[in-house]
Amino acid sequence: MTDTRSTPPASGDAPAATPDRRSPVTLSDVARASGVSLATASRAVNGSARKVRPDLHARVLAAAAQLGYTANGPAQAMARGRTSVLGLVVQDIADPYFSTMAAGVVRGAEQRGLVVTIGTTGRDPAKEAQHVAALRGQRASAVVVVGSRTDDAAVQARLAEEVAAFEASGGRAVLVSQESLPVDTVVVENEQGAEALVRALTERGHERFAVLAGPPGLLTARDRLAGFRAGAAAGGGRVVDDLVLHGDFTRDGGHAAMHRLLDSGFDRGCVLAVNDVMAVGAMAALRERGVDLPGAVAVAGFDDISTLRDVTPALTTVRLPLQEIGERAVELLLDEEGGGPRTVRVRGEVVLRASTPDLRRR
Amino acid sequence: MTDTRSTPPASGDAPAATPDRRSPVTLSDVARASGVSLATASRAVNGSARKVRPDLHARVLAAAAQLGYTANGPAQAMARGRTSVLGLVVQDIADPYFSTMAAGVVRGAEQRGLVVTIGTTGRDPAKEAQHVAALRGQRASAVVVVGSRTDDAAVQARLAEEVAAFEASGGRAVLVSQESLPVDTVVVENEQGAEALVRALTERGHERFAVLAGPPGLLTARDRLAGFRAGAAAGGGRVVDDLVLHGDFTRDGGHAAMHRLLDSGFDRGCVLAVNDVMAVGAMAALRERGVDLPGAVAVAGFDDISTLRDVTPALTTVRLPLQEIGERAVELLLDEEGGGPRTVRVRGEVVLRASTPDLRRR
DNA sequence: TATCGTGAGGAAAGCGCTATCCAACCACGG
DNA sequence: CCGTGGTTGGATAGCGCTTTCCTCACGATA
């Protein structure tokens, strides 16, 4: 197995390239110019398994640089039967959760000479499978799906089917966050993180918890909710069922849910949001209603989105190494597969900040 | 490797497609299965200029569906001489400024059946040209470079050269934010927006302005600074030169610059940051030093990053339609070119919030 | 010196698809 | 009944590159 990637070894700073040439320079041109055969030129320009005599090798490279040769990607892809494309599928690239992860994927991919394409689903899980299918048509060599994890069995089955087809056609696939499928996966330990968060809060004297729980069908949200419950129970506190409100997984979802919670008479306790943006929405709602934050109502989130680290009061949350998750996904992609599907588990780290004051020291 | 495909011509077998087929189905398979020539199959499967008799057309489509045919992207690209890839080059996809714009580009591209690839420069302007070159090698049909706009002439020249080469090879290019090059461009009216912001602030009674100005070589930052100066002058206020501090274009850059500003004795006035993330960093610094915000020191930013809309006090800024900019760039790309390079100008809108109180009403 | 193994260059066969060119075939009009 | 366009299918020539094979030269072994 050669791991000679096709990354043009041409040093980035070619001395006198002439990229203004009109009709594209082909490898044949290079071969002709350097007086070797097409085959030799090909072997010299990319790192083939076969060796080329040093002087010829240098001559070809020089000619390539002089002519401003750039390999024709599609042609290479076709001859090889595979592109060097990594397809990334996310819900919404403007969402910091996904864009941070994407940054990790892009970094990992660029290091390895892969091009990243990005597809978005706009929170429609059915589109994930469509994107994977399209990527298969493009002969992408890898795909990373940062999933939504719904509980819609038909949708999941469709995705599983497409991912299987993708792998069957020779590509590698990694899912982030949905371990139910038989594929390499990076999972976030949502439940464990949520539980640890609430344990830390009960230690600080918080006892009465409300939850802004996100959409009912979203497994990520559900896991976090379960973790909140477990943590509360373990710490002797409790999550009152009446105080579990569902809503969108967005800032506005949190904002609306918090208003509803206040409408229902809630005016003291700790509000746990299943992600940071919802928590921030909740804080906005509390401010609008003139509630003492964090005196009367404390708030905590999940994710530790970096652009949200400067809200006031500083938000207690569970830090997820989002960028690292992206990088790990790429690693998983490129490592030789051992046996069955592997799973990388990533833990969050509880970060206590001012939005959840220590009640016992007060 | 023989490819004796045992394509079962038995039709009407199962209505469901069989995407689990191992060796990829080619157009030849479809042609054979439907009893037409390869040429006809090609014409039927994609929208060729040539017409195909309706019954044949239907038969080919049926066979394609039945066999689970997916076109081989690279092969099509090679035969056509062009892919349907739009290359997007940004500095950092985790930065909300770029990710929001990227979302606009992705949306526009997906609507038009283009695949978006994303390249990042990590704030190194020289990498922009490299990415454009690579995209040319991939025979991308379009490229959008969201630029850094440095004043490094050599770097700019290199980019101009690569973009020209890209266009010469038949692709379309659009730059965002750097109008100095002879290419279609979307420019943000930074100076105008900055001036309008400061005018609005002087109307509210602000008179003494400090500026967190970003890197000296960054033209975007420089334009905004110029706008601040113009606005202050017009409104009878002033930007004291001693109070113009340079630093990174990031949250930490703003944070550090604000600390320096406070160290220098600044303790009253309005701080203008050249972007929102710097403004937020500055607010954090003020909080750390116990400065009355916005009482003693007011703060304003630029961009109106949506995840930053919930900081306290709410940040006065200039709203930029980031997502729309991305979409406009794609439009520019696909429209038939008229004559010379076109320029789309986008204005910002001043948004006054609590971080810059109205001094006269107080 | 004759033979074999090895290493490296060259010719050429595709990769899967599009597009050009040809050949049928049709419906007319003369 | 034959000539003329106008259609539409089919054969086929590539697109630019990788990758077998094949060949040849060279040095080592007998």
The confidence score (pLDDT) of residue A130 equals 94
Residue of B239, B130, B215, B195 lying closest to B350 (CA atoms) = B195
> Measured from the CB, is B194 under 7 Å from any atom of strand C?
no
Nearest nt by C1' to B78 Cα: D15
Residue B185: phi, psi to the nearest 5?
Answer: -145, 145
Contact criterion met (CB < 8 Å) for A19 and B110: no
Of A281 and B14, more confident: A281
Taking a contact as any Cβ pair under 8 Å apart, which residues of chain A between 58 and 77 contact chain B? 70-75, 77
Closest chain B C-alpha to A283 CA, distance in angstroms: 8
Q: Is the CB of A78 inside 8 Å of chain B's CB atoms?
A: yes
What is the token pair recorded at A86? 């990594």
Burial of B99: CB neighbours in 10 Å, binned 0-12, 13-18, 19+: buried
| Sequence-ordered list of residues with C-beta below 8 angstroms from that of B194, at least 6 positions apart, any chain | B223, B224, B225, B226, B227, B228, B230, B231, B272, B302, B318
> Measured from the CB, is B58 under 7 Å from any atom of strand D?
no
Cα B357 to Cα B269: distance, rounded to the nearest angstrom? 11
CB B161 within 8 A of CB B192: no
The confidence score (pLDDT) of residue A241 equals 82
Nearest nt by C1' to A137 Cα: C16
Residue of B288, B309, B330, B10 lying closest to B141 (CA atoms) = B330
Closest chain A C-alpha to B264 CA, distance in angstroms: 24
> Measured from the CB, is A58 under 7 Å from any atom of strand C?
no
Residue of B332, B329, B330, B303 lying closest to B318 (CA atoms) = B303
Residue keyed to tokens 């934010």: B177
Structure confidence by residue, pLDDT tens digits, B191-212: 999 999 999 999 999 999 999 9
What is the token pair recorded at A23? 């009709």
Cα B356 to Cα B338: distance, rounded to the nearest angstrom? 44
Residues in chain A predicted with pLDDT less than 50, given as ranges, are 1-21
Cα B130 to Cα A11: distance, rounded to the nearest angstrom? 11
Closest chain A C-alpha to B222 CA, distance in angstroms: 24
Q: Where residue B335 falls among pLDDT bands split at 50, 70, 90? A: confident
Element (H, E) at A262: helix A251-263
The confidence score (pLDDT) of residue A161 equals 92
Q: Where residue B22 falls among pLDDT bands split at 50, 70, 90? A: low
> Per-residue DSSP letters for A181-236?
SSSEEEEE-HHHHHHHHHHHHHHTT--EEEEE---TT-HHHHHHHHHHHHHHHHTT
The confidence score (pLDDT) of residue B15 equals 34
Taking a contact as any Cβ pair under 8 Å apart, which residues of chain B between 112 and 131 contact chain A? 115-120, 130
- 3-class DSSP assignment, residue A311: coil
Cα B82 to Cα B63: distance, rounded to the nearest angstrom? 27
Considering only alpha carbons, which residue of chain A is nearest residue B168? A22
Q: Is the pLDDT of residue B8 over 60?
A: no
CB A142 within 8 A of CB A335: no
Structure confidence by residue, pLDDT tens digits, B25-37: 999 999 999 999 9
Cα B297 to Cα B290: distance, rounded to the nearest angstrom? 11
**Residues B252, B255, B258, B264, CA torsion sign:** negative
Q: Where residue B43 falls among pLDDT bands split at 50, 70, 90? A: very high
Contact criterion met (CB < 8 Å) for B22 and A85: no
Residue of A184, A192, A147 lying closest to A348 (CA atoms) = A192
Considering only alpha carbons, which residue of chain A is nearest residue B105? A93
Cα A199 to Cα A191: distance, rounded to the nearest angstrom? 12
Residue of A310, A290, A292 lying closest to A353 (CA atoms) = A310
A143 DSSP β-pair partners: A87, A173
CB B202 within 8 A of CB B232: yes
Burial of A221: CB neighbours in 10 Å, binned 0-12, 13-18, 19+: buried
The confidence score (pLDDT) of residue B6 equals 34
B320 DSSP β-pair partners: none
What is the token pair recorded at B149? 């706009």
The confidence score (pLDDT) of residue A362 equals 54
Q: Is the CB of B85 inside 8 Å of chain A's CB atoms?
A: yes
How many Å does it take to go from CA B242 to C1' D4?
88
Cα A360 to Cα A348: distance, rounded to the nearest angstrom? 25
Contact criterion met (CB < 8 Å) for B96 and A100: no
Task: Give, as one character, the DSSP assignment of residue A209.
Answer: E
Residue of A115, A253, A91 lying closest to A176 (CA atoms) = A91
Are β-strands A172-176 and A142-146 bridged in parallel, bridged antiparallel, or unpaired?
parallel
Cα B291 to Cα B303: distance, rounded to the nearest angstrom? 25
Q: At what angle do helices A126-137 and A153-168 cross, to 10 degrees?
A: 10
The confidence score (pLDDT) of residue B362 equals 54
The confidence score (pLDDT) of residue B338 equals 63
The confidence score (pLDDT) of residue B245 equals 96
| CA diameter of chain B | 86
Mean pLDDT over each residue of chain B, to the nearest integer: 89
Contact criterion met (CB < 8 Å) for B93 and A102: yes
Considering only alpha carbons, which residue of chain B is nearest residue A276? B307
For residue A1, how many other CB atoms are within 10 A of its CB? 5
Nearest nt by C1' to B26 Cα: C16
Nearest nt by C1' to B49 Cα: C19
CB A15 within 8 A of CB A65: yes
Please provide the distance, in angstroms rounded to a whole number, between the alpha carbons at the two ends of chain B.
84
**Residues B144, B148, B151, B157, CA torsion sign:** negative
Residue of A63, A65, A62, A74 lying closest to B137 (CA atoms) = A74
Residues of A in contact with B99 (CB under 8 A): 93-94, 96, 99, 102
Considering only alpha carbons, which residue of chain B is nearest residue A250? B307
> Measured from the CB, is A79 under 7 Å from any atom of strand C?
yes
Q: At what angle do helices B96-111 and A96-111 cross, to 10 degrees?
A: 80
| Sequence-ordered list of residues with C-beta below 8 angstroms from that of A194, at least 6 positions apart, any chain | A223, A224, A225, A226, A227, A228, A230, A231, A272, A302, A318
CB A326 within 8 A of CB A311: no
Q: Is the pLDDT of residue B137 over 90?
A: yes
CB A316 within 8 A of CB A277: no
CB B190 within 8 A of CB B160: no
Give the distance, in angstroms, between the CA of residue A303 and the centroid of all CA atoms in the same chain. 12
Contact criterion met (CB < 8 Å) for B312 and A72: no
Cα A286 to Cα A293: distance, rounded to the nearest angstrom? 7
Q: Which residue type occupies A141?
A: S
What are the structural domains of chain A?
1-81 (1.10.260.40), 83-188+323-346 (3.40.50.2300), 190-320 (3.40.50.2300)
